[in-house]
Each structure stands twice: as C-alpha cells, then as structure tokens.
Amino acid sequence: MSRNVRQTDEHTVRHGGPRVVSPELVPEPLTAAGFAPFGDVIEASGPFVLINDGSTKRFHDLVRIDNFGEGGRAAISIFTVKKQLFPFPVRMLERHPLGSQAFIPRLSNRFLIVVAPPMEHIQSSDLRAFWSDGRQGVNYRAGVWHHPVLATVDDDEFLVIDRVGPGKNCDEIAFSEGERRVLLWA
Amino acid sequence: MSRNVRQTDEHTVRHGGPRVVSPELVPEPLTAAGFAPFGDVIEASGPFVLINDGSTKRFHDLVRIDNFGEGGRAAISIFTVKKQLFPFPVRMLERHPLGSQAFIPRLSNRFLIVVAPPMEHIQSSDLRAFWSDGRQGVNYRAGVWHHPVLATVDDDEFLVIDRVGPGKNCDEIAFSEGERRVLLWA
C-alpha cells in the first residue's frame, strides 16, 4: 500500500499532473476565518451596538452585498429545500459572476456548504466543505464557485439575498465521474 | 350605554375632533393584503420556481428594497431582542425616510408589529397592529412609521435588511400619556 501511494506521489511530481486528493470531502466547522476566501459568515457574534432602549443588540452590516452590473439590485427570496442523501457525490458547482449570494437558515437546521475559489479554472481538488451549526448563514462573494444549497432535513427553509437584473449571472462547471469528490456528513 | 355611544359619535362629527378609538390596540393576523399599505410580508407562499434539479422551491424577489439617497446601500444585520411585557403601552414610533427595513424572524417565534401610514402627521388613532406567526417577516417601506421590533420571547433573533449610508434616516414621534394606545397580546 505505502509503495503504491509513494509511486503515485512521484508520478504526480514528475509530470506536474493533478494533485492527489482523497475522493472524500470532509466538511469543516464554519468559521469566519476559514470561510474568508469565499465570503462572509452571517451570525450573531462579535461586536454589536445596543439600540431600542437597550432591548436590542444590533450585529451590524455583516456582509458585503455585491449587485454589480447595469440595473443590478439586491432581492430577498425564500428557498424551501429537500434534504440530500449522504455521502453525496459533488457533480457540479455554479457561480454568479455579477453578484453576491447570501443563504441564511430560518429553521436552525445544520446544513452543508461546498465551495471553490473564484478562479477561472478549478479542479475538484480545489473544493472545500463546511457545515453550518444552523444559526450561521453564509454570503458567497461574486464569482465564488459553490454547490446549490445542501440541506440535511426535508423542507428546510433559507432566506436568500442575491442579485436580480439583466446579464448572464450563472455559470456551471461539471465534474466527470472520475473527478467527483464525495461529501461526507459525519 | 347605546345612548352614550351615540352621543360620543355625534360629538365627534359635530366638532370634527379626533376619531374616538379604543385605547386598546388589538393585533390582527399578518396577511399580505392587510399589510399592503405599510410594506411586504416575507413568507414562503404563492408562486415559486423549481430550481436545482427540482430539490428547491424559490419564492422569488418577495419585497421592494429601497435604499435611496446618495451612497445608500442595502446591509444585512442580525438583531437579538429581549421580550416585552404585555399589555404594552405604545409610547413612540420611528420611521426611516431614506430606505426600507425588513425584519425576518430566525427562530420561528411569533412577534408583534405596530405601524402607521407614511404621513407627515399621525395620531395614535392611525395605529395598526399585526402578529406574525413566526415564519412571516415584514418589510417596512421607506417612511412607514413603526415601533421598534416587539419580541414575545427572550433572546429572539431577527435578520434585518435595511439601508446604510449618509443622511438622516431616523425620525421619531412620541405619544403623550393621554394619547397612548396599549398593545394587547392575546
């Protein structure tokens, strides 16, 4: 076994081929620092201002909303989502080059996030996965590759703030069967 | 009794004085039609589009976000809120003339809404009250008078989408003790 692994490594280095990665994609806990290359975490933590005679803490202006482009504007929508079965093969990702997209859970259910950096060419070895504790939302920055929302319970509900307006604002990338990572939920 | 009521009505008509209203303010169930003079109800109902290979219903673009004025933009914040005690005397309202403000419950708790139309001069007889079932959010249009968020449980949590930017964007009106309505929660 160890010899095979070493051969594979040597082969990779010698030919400059794709990085050797585990087919398994294990989600990390979602933190602001870990998610920083992809966008913002939306949660009631950190500094706040006390308003309304002290009855309310305002955690202020938590994300950067991008709605670039001629006639683009922010819209509020609700997604209701079927759960996925895990392990889950990651067949594709999408990106919205013209605007950010925020997903905020409304029913406190944990959910999963799969992302890749906002590069023109990505490989499945570039994937990162995170799990939200159910109170945390995320805001994908414009151009960040991400999988459509991955619920772990049926009829889960998310608030979505993203861009509406003219222009082509959705690209997709598909992974061939051999490239596919398998997202665990453990 | 009926004679007294009639006399009161006659008096009101004769002198063109303030409308006679009960000091009690009884909240109505929140509906899109009832709330239309004040803004939008944010809920997963009505038409949707099926996306993400049929796993997701998108209830699309549910509100009008206003962020008027030089340099205004939409921001996402979280409010964590102490509960109020009821009956609750409505001492004041506020309005944001430059932008809309959306409140979306995150923990499925019912909450209360007190509003008045976007007029320059209002009286406490102009107040309307609504209760959200805990899944429904609201979006106050720019200039609509409203009471700061009224939670019915402690540490309730709301997502807020409103305007940040330069300019004076908060007016307040105070009601004298004699004018105050008392909000019931029943």
Of A51, A65, A77, the CB nearest to B76: A65
pLDDT tens digit string along B167-180? 999 999 999 999 99
Provide mean pLDDT across the span B39-60.
96
More confident residue, B159 or A18: B159
More confident residue, B147 or A67: B147
The answer to whether B64 and B141 are in contact (CB under 8 A) is yes
> Which chain B residue shows the shortest CA-CA distance from A83?
B55
The reported pLDDT for the residue numbered B21 is 64
The answer to whether the CB atoms of B58 and A74 lie below 8 A apart is no
| Confidence band, pLDDT 50/70/90 cuts, at residue B18 | low
What span, in angstroms and rounded, lies between the C-alpha atoms of A101 and A67? 9
Residue A59 pLDDT > 80, yes or no?
A: yes
ipTM: 0.86
Provide mean pLDDT across the span B24-29.
97
Based on its alpha-carbon atoms, the radius of gyration of chain B, rounded to whole angstroms, reads 19
What span, in angstroms and rounded, lies between the C-alpha atoms of B158 and A124? 36
The reported pLDDT for the residue numbered B186 is 74
Q: How many CB pairs under 8 A join A and B?
A: 129
Ordered by where they begin, the domains of chain B are 4-183 (2.60.120.480)
Q: Which residue's structure tokens are 């006679």?
A: B20
The verdict on B138 touching A (C-beta cutoff 8 Å) is: no
* d(CA A34, nearest CA chain B) in Å: 20
> Which chain B residue shows the shortest CA-CA distance from A92?
B52
* d(CA A60, nearest CA chain B) in Å: 5
Q: Is B124 exposed, middle or buried (0-12, 13-18, 19+ CB in 10 A)?
A: buried
| Confidence band, pLDDT 50/70/90 cuts, at residue B104 | very high
The verdict on A148 touching B (C-beta cutoff 8 Å) is: yes
What's the DSSP call for residue A99? B
Distance of alpha carbon A147 from its chain centroid, rounded? 6
What span, in angstroms and rounded, lies between the C-alpha atoms of B115 and A167? 38
**End-to-end CA, chain A:** 26
What pTM was estimated for this model as a whole? Answer: 0.87
Provide mean pLDDT across the span A78-106.
97
Contacts of A78 in chain B (CB under 8 A): 42-44, 58-59, 62
The reported pLDDT for the residue numbered A21 is 64
Q: Which of A78, A91, A133 to mutate to test the interface with B (most CBs of B within 10 A)?
A: A78
The reported pLDDT for the residue numbered A18 is 53
The amino acid occupying position A156 is D
